[in-house]
Amino acid sequence: MQTRTLGHGPRVSALGLGCMGMSAFYGAHDDAESIATIHHALERGLNLLDTADMYGPHTNEVLVGKAIKGRREQAFVATKFGIVLDPSDPAVRGVNGRPEYVHAACDASLKRLGIDTIDLYYQHRVDPNVPIEETVGAMAELVAAGKVRYLGLSEASGATLERACKVHPIAALQSEFSLWTRDPQTNGMLAACRKLGVSLVAYSPLGRGFLTGAIRSPDDFDADDYRRSSPRFIGDNFARNLQLVEQVKAIAADKGCSPAQLALAWVLAQGEDVLAIPGTRKRSRLDENLGALDVQLGAAELKAIDAVFPPDAVSGTRYVEEGMRMVNA
């Protein structure tokens, strides 16, 4: 398995497994196949498993915990805290980065995961009402207590990351990064990561499935699928984005790989300090996605991809307005 260094710390598999869709957002769940997919990933040497307390909510951590039982040493478990759902309406969200909450959230995640130490603990979203120094200070206490090994932030700006690193080393910044979401390259995030020795972990590297070419119509989604209301997947945006994907498919066909593999190879080609955590609930797709590790893109190919899919080509924002407000740009 190809590995990459996380921050100044451990080497983990260059491709991780995003477990979110196994319990939330993307329609029907099949826990047995999801657990088999996690087992298959570990058997193939993929060790970076990504979850969060708000996926489910909570059930995704329980699922991951079940899957790694008896295989703890094979897994590098990353989870997140900080997005708080209103119990009466999970669509209503807040952010909590207060120190006492950080401690309580960590204890709850450890319990659900059934482990003694979280390998990588991310703040899921920066709390605008709590100085980052206070939140990361509490996260550092978790490291000192042996409950967490490495720290991460998600969707934090370069400036916030710099402040956080003064309190405690940050191993990883997790952000959406893919052919259709180039923000980390344009908003200074990737540059800040490089300056500070922080790895960039690309989430939704397959554009929530769209870049694979498998999604042909909004009708492909289950009734409760989150993407039915996501700006890039609705109305004219869907049709325009589909035209871009047709071009990705053509380049992939020339290269002799699948569109999903091309999309992942593009992310991994952005630097040795970039990792990707594609999500899938199926073993067959995991195998396909791991095939991206064998797809090497040269400078001319990256240029050709840029020509058909330039950084600002996508139609629609990546979240609705409320979600965009939670991003610490």
| Footprint of ligand NAP (CB under 6 A) | 18-21, 26, 50, 124, 154-155, 174, 203-209, 212, 214, 260, 277-282, 285, 288-289
Question: Has 55 been annotated as catalytic?
Answer: yes
Cα dist. 210→180, 264, 301, 312 in Å?
10, 13, 21, 16
Of 76 and 303, nearer to ligand NAP (C-beta) is 76
Question: Element (H or E) spanning 140, and its range?
Answer: helix 132-144
To ligand NAP, the closest distance from the beta carbon of 293 in angstroms equals 13
Calpha distance 128→133 (Å, rounded)? 12
Of 92 and 300, nearer to ligand NAP (C-beta) is 92
Contact 289, 260 (CB under 8 A): yes
Of 18 and 184, nearer to ligand NAP (C-beta) is 18
Contact 94, 125 (CB under 8 A): no
Catalytic residue selected from 26, 55, 122, 150: 55
Amino acid (one-letter) located at 131:
P
To ligand NAP, the closest distance from the beta carbon of 285 in angstroms equals 4
The per-residue DSSP string of 236-300 comes to HHHHHHHHHHHHHHHHHHHHTS-HHHHHHHHHHTT-TTEEE--B-S-HHHHHHHHGGGG----HH
CB under 8 A, 24+ apart: contacts of 256-259: 257/291, 257/292, 257/295, 258/212, 258/288, 258/291, 259/211, 259/212, 259/213
Amino acid (one-letter) located at 121:
Y
Calpha distance 3→239 (Å, rounded)? 37
CB count within 10 Å of CB 118 equals 26
Calpha distance 312→183 (Å, rounded)? 9
3-class DSSP assignment, residue 151? strand
To ligand NAP, the closest distance from the beta carbon of 279 in angstroms equals 3
To ligand NAP, the closest distance from the beta carbon of 281 in angstroms equals 4
Amino acid (one-letter) located at 143:
V
To ligand NAP, the closest distance from the beta carbon of 300 in angstroms equals 25
Of 147 and 208, nearer to ligand NAP (C-beta) is 208
Calpha distance 169→150 (Å, rounded)? 8
Of 157 and 174, nearer to ligand NAP (C-beta) is 174
Q: Find residue 50's DSSP bridge partners.
A: 18, 78
Q: Find residue 13's DSSP bridge partners.
A: 3
Of 300 and 316, nearer to ligand NAP (C-beta) is 316
To ligand NAP, the closest distance from the beta carbon of 266 in angstroms equals 12
Which residues are part of the catalytic machinery?
A: 55
